Chain A
Amino acid sequence: MNIKALLSATAVASVAFAGAAIARDQIQIAGSSTVLPYASIVAEAFGENTDFPTPVVESGGSSAGLKKFCTGVGENTIDIANASRPIRESEIKACAEAGVTDIMEVRIGYDGIVFASDINGADFAFTPTDWYKALAAEVVVDGKLAANSATTWKQVNDALPEQEIQAFVPGTKHGTREVFEEKVMMQGCEDSGALKALVDGGMDKKEAAKKCITLRTDGRSVDIDGDYTETLARLDANKAGIGVFGLAFYENNTDKLKVATMSDVVPSTQSIASGEYPVSRPLFFYVKKAHIGVIPGLKEFAQFFVSDELAGPDGPLAQYGLVSDPELAKVQEAVASETTLTH
């Protein structure tokens, strides 16, 4: 029959193509959309400065990238996963089950998370406590948990302007969300004494911590599942909103956004490098060691990425918004000796 013949022809063609695909000479990278700009800058420079082709960098998020990374070893799996958070124990286990055992962890630098509002709006000087009190689903009132009823920032902290609470926060699939929960919500919960009150009130420590980072769902806090461009569009439509952005994104849109201080520190590469600005996190990429020597240029790329010329304080990555790692020399050494994760 016609169809049968065609189907088998397609199958044969697929196998033939798969055979031809064995010789992949391009490095393939996937993962965090926060790391994507940096990875693409390095990939472009790598293509220009070496005889290797320009690596391809897919976006999709830290978790999606690591999941892809852990599907196995071979030509049709990716070589590098970008992540805006460290790899989880569960992911290392999933990787090992699929045969991905030797993983190199490379820290490329730090990224700041900034809180910004419309350029023509009011000035904000936040503390983590303000964010906790404004956005937690339930807050402690007279020693008891009650649904958060704050409607303006002034109700939360007298020093803040009389403006409706409306926050645009990265959705749960983003690595940024984890940092926001830990460094802002959790911190605010501790600073305001709410955590202590909860634990003293007889609540389990773990459960109390969970209560601390649960965001309200009455529309005052909106999860953004897309990228920062979506958050920017939301702020454009709702001038009273406050958005959570990466430092590099803010620095590219300083004409539309006004950045808020956190604990009286203005976010900048300097204040993040010195550790003064509290909301920052390391960025990573993970290399499949089994692919070194198989995919041409993989180790060279990893070394190129963390070289002083690129990831150093005067390099193009810092120019774009990356806070360079003060211990870059250690990272370079680890990459050179192909140090893998131990567990």
Chain B
Amino acid sequence: MTDTAMSYPAGKEAGQAVRKKTSLLEVDALTRRRNAAESRFKIYGIVAILIGLFFLVALLYAIFSNGLTAFNQTFVSVPVTLEKSAVEQAEASIVKTSRYNAMIDQALVAELGRAGISTDMKPADLRKILSSGAAAQVRSFVLANPGRIGETVTFELLASSRVDGYLKGRVTREALVNDKNLDAAHLDLVDQMADKGVVEKRFNMDFITGSDASDSRPEQAGIGVSMIGSLYMMLVVLFLSLPIGVAASIYLEEFAPKNRFTDLIEVNISNLAAVPSIVFGILGLAAFIQFAHLPQSAPIVGGLVLTLMTLPTIIISTRASLKAVPPSIRDAALGVGASKMQSVFHHVLPLAAPGILTGTIIGLAQALGETAPLLLIGMVGFIASNYPGSLASGFLDPNSAMPAQIYEWAKRADPAFYERAWGGIIVLLLFLMTMNIVAIILRRRFERRW
């Protein structure tokens, strides 16, 4: 390497001060400052990423540590004798399920005797170990299998939320001092029953497939029905917002003249994308329920509202991907005699499709996690209690959505619902992650660059 600093014309003027010699190999103060600034900036960047990662990890830790327990549930296996006279008597009363409790009480006492656990607790008091939904569980079995009346059937009955909480470490003996739903004596029994294998904690599929339950039996609540509600809403959003959004973007991008009017439309679309989602809820209440007389709390209305919310996102991303197709493709198509429409549908649209799909999936994922507009159209509350019977009723019958269900659980009084809210978040996150991964894969596989 030649030393360039040395190549000053020598002896130009004797009186002139000789300029300080510098070298590329020798780092001077200015360069050092610039280098230091650069490495500082790198550190800032890394710190920013680490902070982000820290929050992500903290969030995921909170979600999973609080929510994973929701997927396990405590069951008590009890052989219940379904005597014909008792069943007939129960079916003749107004609140039929409450009459089944007597059968369960008997069975529970007998089962404790068999397991060699002695207690002086009254049967009605003993029942507090079980969910108040146990009677309904037995009754629905009887209704489904009338042929088995008279037999002894072993039921896997849900334990009450506090027993479940005890086995999960949430409920302690001290915490039950003022509690009228369960006593420490019950917990002693539960310990013995767990030893004998009568009480068991295991994976609870019903949390994923089940319906919402009332405030008195959190152990029975599941996210399944609201998942179906979310699914129907997403169908509405997909089948409305994709065609409308793509048609609007193609027209605006390829056909519309550039004038004040289209500029105005463009500005409005960008504005709509930034409108808070609750506004769409108010609009939906006024337009779809009060004006168009669509049913309350129905996924069709939820889907329509979320369509309005998703449209701007889809239009913006579709226009961006149409813009990304080089003009030469259009020119070439037009040059060989294609009509404008043929050039768009045969050449531009297929090339833009991966971008459009990615935008749509991200828009759908955003809509899937939205709660605020659903508050106003009556989809939050004790709603997700019936499985839809048919395709039409899936759209029209009252239902909730996953984020609305999570919100509802988070505000209920029994702390057992809190755990289920976190569990619901895990399910929702899995859906969102799957959708985003599909979007990334589509983009990676099909995107073309010029």
Chains A and B bind each other = yes
A residues engaging B (CB < 8 A)?
2-3, 6, 10, 14-15, 17-18, 20-21, 24, 26, 28, 30, 33, 36-37, 39-41, 43-45, 47-49, 53-54, 56-60, 71, 74-78, 226-230, 248-249, 251-255, 304, 307, 309-310, 316, 319-320
Cα distance A37–B408 in the bound complex, in angstroms? 11
- 21 contacts across the A-B interface (CB closer than 8 A): A17-B395, A18-B294, A20-B396, A21-B293, A21-B294, A26-B386, A28-B398, A30-B378, A36-B381, A44-B213, A44-B382, A56-B382, A58-B380, A59-B381, A60-B375, A74-B293, A76-B295, A248-B413, A255-B172, A309-B95, A319-B216
Chain A nearest Cβ from B279, distance in angstroms: 18
Interfacial chain B residues near A75, Cβ < 8 Å: 293, 295
B residues engaging A (CB < 8 A)?
93-98, 132, 136, 139-140, 171-172, 174-181, 213-217, 240, 243-244, 247-248, 251, 288-290, 292-298, 300, 304, 375, 378, 380-383, 385-386, 392, 395-398, 408, 410-415
Chain A nearest Cβ from B272, distance in angstroms: 15
Cα distance A43–B178 in the bound complex, in angstroms? 28
Partner of A47, one of B98, B217, B293, B385: B385
Quick one: given A28-B296, A251-B180, A255-B175, are A47 and B94 in contact (CB under 8 Å)? no
Partner of A76, one of B132, B248, B293: B293
Q: Is the interface of A mostly helix, strand, loop or mixed?
A: helix
Cα distance A86–B64 in the bound complex, in angstroms? 44
Interfacial chain A residues near B217, Cβ < 8 Å: 44
Cα distance A57–B410 in the bound complex, in angstroms? 16
Q: Is the CB of B385 within 8 A of A43?
A: yes
Q: Which of B139, B179, B304, B378 has the most CB of A within 10 A?
A: B378
Quick one: given A26-B397, A255-B176, are A45 and B295 in contact (CB under 8 Å)? no
Q: Is the CB of A229 within 8 A of B413?
A: yes
- What 18 new A-B contacts, CB under 8 Å, besides A56-B398, A76-B289? A3-B244, A6-B247, A17-B300, A17-B395, A18-B292, A20-B392, A41-B216, A49-B95, A49-B97, A60-B381, A229-B410, A229-B411, A248-B413, A251-B181, A252-B415, A307-B95, A316-B132, A319-B216
Partner of B382, one of A40, A248, A254, A320: A40
Cα distance A53–B397 in the bound complex, in angstroms? 11
Interfacial chain B residues near A24, Cβ < 8 Å: 295
Q: Which of B94, B176, B217 has the most CB of A within 10 A?
A: B94
Q: Is the CB of B411 within 8 A of A227?
A: yes
Partner of A2, one of B98, B247, B398, B414: B247
Interfacial chain A residues near B380, Cβ < 8 Å: 58-60
Interfacial chain A residues near B94, Cβ < 8 Å: 49, 304, 307, 309
Interfacial chain A residues near B175, Cβ < 8 Å: 254-255
Chain A nearest Cβ from B165, distance in angstroms: 10
Q: Is the CB of A54 within 8 A of B178?
A: no
Chain A nearest Cβ from B398, distance in angstroms: 4
Q: Is the CB of A320 within 8 A of B215?
A: yes
Q: Is the CB of B290 within 8 A of A71?
A: yes
Q: Is the CB of A30 within 8 A of B381?
A: yes
Q: Is the CB of A17 within 8 A of B294?
A: yes
Chain A nearest Cβ from B177, distance in angstroms: 7
Determine the residue in chain B with the shortest Cβ distance to A30.
B378
Q: Is the CB of A310 within 8 A of B295?
A: no
Q: Which 6 A-B pairs have the closest CB atoms?
A: A255-B175, A37-B215, A58-B381, A40-B382, A254-B178, A309-B95
Partner of B179, one of A41, A47, A254: A254
Cα distance A229–B398 in the bound complex, in angstroms? 26
Cα distance A249–B288 in the bound complex, in angstroms? 36
Q: Is the CB of B382 within 8 A of A36?
A: yes
Interfacial chain B residues near A252, Cβ < 8 Å: 413-415
Q: Is the CB of B386 within 8 A of A47?
A: yes
Q: Is the CB of B381 within 8 A of A56?
A: yes
Quick one: given A3-B247, A3-B251, are A56 and B385 in contact (CB under 8 Å)? yes
Q: Is the CB of A48 within 8 A of B216?
A: no
Cα distance A41–B132 in the bound complex, in angstroms? 10
Q: Is the CB of A58 within 8 A of B297?
A: yes
Cα distance A3–B315 in the bound complex, in angstroms? 13
Interfacial chain A residues near B398, Cβ < 8 Å: 26, 28, 56
Interfacial chain B residues near A36, Cβ < 8 Å: 215, 381-382
Quick one: given A17-B300, A48-B139, are A39 and B293 in contact (CB under 8 Å)? no
Cα distance A255–B171 in the bound complex, in angstroms? 9
Q: Is the CB of B96 within 8 A of A78?
A: no
Partner of B293, one of A18, A54, A310: A18
Chain A nearest Cβ from B68, distance in angstroms: 21
Q: Is the CB of A37 within 8 A of B294?
A: no
Determine the residue in chain B with the shortest Cβ distance to A49.
B96
Partner of B296, one of A2, A14, A78, A319: A78
Partner of B383, one of A48, A58, A227: A58
Interfacial chain B residues near A227, Cβ < 8 Å: 411
Q: Is the CB of B300 within 8 A of A45?
A: no
Partner of A249, one of B98, B177, B251, B413: B413
Chain A nearest Cβ from B86, distance in angstroms: 16
Interfacial chain A residues near B382, Cβ < 8 Å: 36, 39-40, 43-44, 56-58
Quick one: given A21-B396, A49-B97, A255-B175, are A41 and B214 in contact (CB under 8 Å)? yes
Cα distance A242–B171 in the bound complex, in angstroms? 24
